[in-house]
Structure 1
Amino acid sequence: MHEDTMAKKTYLLCLEGGGTRCQAALLDTMGMPLHISESTDVNTNFVTREIAQAAVLRAVSEVLRVSRIPGEQVSRFASALVGPRFGPEVFYSMIPTATYHYYTERDVVFARAGIYTPHGVAVVAATGATAWGIRSDNGLHISVGGWGTLLGDEGSAYAVGLMALRTAPRIYEKRITTPTRLLEILYQRFDMTPETFRPKMYDLAY
C-alpha cells in the first residue's frame, strides 16, 4: 500500500539559468523545495548552444539522481533560461510525461515579487542587466538594456567587473593615484604579482 502510494506521487521540476550558472530545483506539489542542483552557465553570449544544452541536462539529471525520484513522477516542468530556449524534446528522455512550461526572464522577475500578471517596473542586474515597464491595463510595455556584453548591459555584474579590469592597469601604471584595494584584490583572486600582472591581465582579457 505504501509503495503504491509513493509511486503515484508527483513532483514539480524548475530550471533557471543565465550567464553565471544554471539550477534545477525539485519541489513537491505544495511548492516545497526538496533538492537543488547546479551546473555551469547557459547564456549563449558566453557559451555555445551545445555547451548550454549539456549544462541544463546535467542540472536536471543531477537533481533527479540526488532526490532518487524517477523522471516519470515529474508532472510539470518549468524552464526559464536567459539566452537559449530548449523545447520539451530536449528533456524527454529524463522526464517523459511532464507538462512543459516556458517562462521569460521578465515573467520570473515579476513572479518572484508575487506579481503573476506583469504590471509595473522590474529591473534585473545579474550577469546582464535589463529593465521592463509594463501596464497590464492597456498592454503598453517597454524594455531597456539587455543588449549583451558588447553593446551595453550597464549596471550588470559583467559590466562592473569589466570596469574593474579596465581600471586596474591605470592603477598599476600610477595613472590613477587614489587609494584603493583593487590591485590587492585582483592579485589575490587571480594569483597575480606585480611581475605577472601584465601577462595575466592579457590572459583574462583575450
Structure 2
Amino acid sequence: MRYVIGIDGGGTKTEAVIMNLSGEIAGSFEVGATNPNAVSYDVARDNLYRLLDCCFNDAGMAAADCLAVSLGLSGVDRAEEREKIAASLREYGDRHGCSCDILIHNDAEIALMAALGHARGIIAISGTGAIVFGVAPDGMRYRTGGWGHILGDQGSGYDIGLSVLQAVMRSYDGVCPETALTGLVLEKHGFSSPEQLRTYIYQPHIQKANIAEYAHLCIRAAETMQDAAARQIVEKAARELAALTNALRGKHPYFADAPVAATGSIFKHSELFRDTYRRCLNEWNEQRRLGRRTDVAISERKPAHGAALLALQAAAQAGER
C-alpha cells in the first residue's frame, strides 16, 4: 500500500500520522520533542528517526511505498535549518530504501491545513508556545508572535505558566492577595513553602515545557475555583493572542473577513480563554464598523493530520507531472 506520513514536531512531543492515498488514517505514533530550540539538534534528529522507525517497523509499512514525508516543526523556520533537517531525513531514507519527497513546513501551516482543510485563512495556536499565522489567496504568508519565550510568546502556555509562578511569589511577598494558585503549585511538587520553588525552578534541566505545565493549574483555578488571580492571567493571555491576531488581520485586506481557526492545548482546555479571545476579535470588528461577527473554529484534527494532507497533496501533484 502506498502512503504518506505527516509529522507535527514541537517542544514537548512529536506526532506522526500515516495516511493512505484515499485520505484514510492507517496509523499514528508519538515520540519526544523535535524542536531544536527546546532540545539539542541531535536529540531532535534522533527522535525523528525513532518516529520513522515506528512508522516503518511497528506499523508494518514498507519504506519503499512511502511517497512523501511532510513535517511541520516548531523552531525550524530558516532555510538553513530546514535543509539541515531535510538532509538528515534523506540520509535516513537512503539507509532504509525510502526515496520519498521530504517537505518541511511552518508548524502553523500544518495546523491551518488541519483546521480548515485548505491553506487559506488564519490559524491561532496556543500550546507550549503561541503564534498566529495567515495565508492569503495570493499565497502570501504572514505571521505575528511566535518569537520564543525571550522575545515574545504572548498567549502561550509558557506565558501563562510563568505568570502563575510570579503570581505565587508576589502573593507570598504580600504584594498581591492570596491565590489558590499557591496551594496548587505546592501540591504539584509536594513543597511546604513557595520559597522552595526558587531551588526547583532555576535548575539547569528546567525547560520552557516545564514552565508551560503550570498553565493547566491556572486553568483549573480560574474555571473550577474561580480564583481572581488565575482568571486575570488567563484573560490577559487571551487578550494578547487576540491582539496578535488582530494585528495580522490588518496586514492584508483578505484577512479582515477570513476564517479564523484555533488549536493547541490552551484553546482545548480553557473555555475562559476561548471566550475572551473571541470577544476581543469581535471588539476589533466593532471598532472598524465591519458589521459582522467573527467566529473561531476550534480545530478537531491534530496538526499532524494537516501535515499528512499536505503530503498527500504533494504526492498527487507529483503524480500528475
Normalised by the length of structure 2, the TM-score is 0.54
Q: Give the corresponding residue for 2:109.
A: 107
Once the two structures are superposed, the pairs formed by residues 1-206 of structure 1 within 5 Å of their partners are: 9-84=1-76, 85=82, 86-87=85-86, 88-92=89-93, 93-94=95-96, 96-118=98-120, 120-137=121-138, 141-178=141-178, 180-194=179-193, 196-203=196-203, 204=206
Work out whether residues 122 and 133 of structure 1, in 8 Å CA contact, stay in contact via their aligned partners in 2: yes
Give how far 1:22 is off. Answer: 0.6
CA distance 1:132–1:91, change in 2 (3 Å): same
Q: Secondary structure at the match of 1:106?
A: helix
Q: Which has the higher strand share?
A: 1
Work out whether residues 17 and 43 of structure 1, in 8 Å CA contact, stay in contact via their aligned partners in 2: yes
Q: Give the corresponding residue for 2:275.
A: none
Q: Which residue identity is paired with 1:16?
A: D
Question: Between Structure 1 and Structure 2, how many residues are aligned?
Answer: 194
CA distance 1:75–1:134, change in 2 (3 Å): closer
Give how far 1:148 is off. Answer: 0.6
Work out whether residues 45 and 148 of structure 1, in 8 Å CA contact, stay in contact via their aligned partners in 2: no
Work out whether residues 12 and 29 of structure 1, in 8 Å CA contact, stay in contact via their aligned partners in 2: yes
CA distance 1:26–1:130, change in 2 (3 Å): same
Mark the runs of 5 or more structure 1 residues left unpaired by the alignment: 1-8
Deviations along 1:86-109, whole A, 9 cap, x unmatched? 114143134613232222223213
Mean Cα deviation higher: 15-24 or 189-198: 189-198
Q: Secondary structure at the match of 2:23?
A: coil
CA distance 1:152–1:77, change in 2 (3 Å): same
Once residues 82 and 90 of structure 1 are traced to their aligned partners in structure 2, the CA distance between those partners, rounded to angstroms, is: 21
Q: Secondary structure at the match of 1:26?
A: strand
Mark the runs of 5 or more structure 2 residues left unpaired by the alignment: 77-81, 208-321
Work out whether residues 9 and 107 of structure 2, in 8 Å CA contact, stay in contact via their aligned partners in 1: no
Give how far 1:185 is off. Answer: 1.7
- Extract structure 1 runs of 4+ deviating beyond 4 A: none
Give how far 1:161 is off. Answer: 1.0
Give how far 1:20 is off. Answer: 1.8
Work out whether residues 35 and 66 of structure 1, in 8 Å CA contact, stay in contact via their aligned partners in 2: no
Give how far 1:17 is off. Answer: 0.6
Provide the alpha-carbon RMSD of the alignment. 2.3
Give me the identity figure in percent: 23
Give how far 1:21 is off. Answer: 0.9
Work out whether residues 37 and 60 of structure 1, in 8 Å CA contact, stay in contact via their aligned partners in 2: no
Question: Which structure is higher in RCO with an 8 Å CA cutoff and minimum separation 6?
Answer: 2
CA distance 1:99–1:45, change in 2 (3 Å): closer
Once residues 72 and 140 of structure 1 are traced to their aligned partners in structure 2, the CA distance between those partners, rounded to angstroms, is: 34
CA distance 1:69–1:117, change in 2 (3 Å): closer
Once residues 58 and 42 of structure 1 are traced to their aligned partners in structure 2, the CA distance between those partners, rounded to angstroms, is: 11
Work out whether residues 131 and 145 of structure 1, in 8 Å CA contact, stay in contact via their aligned partners in 2: yes
Q: Secondary structure at the match of 2:26?
A: strand
Normalised by the length of structure 1, the TM-score is 0.81
Q: Secondary structure at the match of 1:45?
A: coil
CA distance 1:72–1:140, change in 2 (3 Å): closer
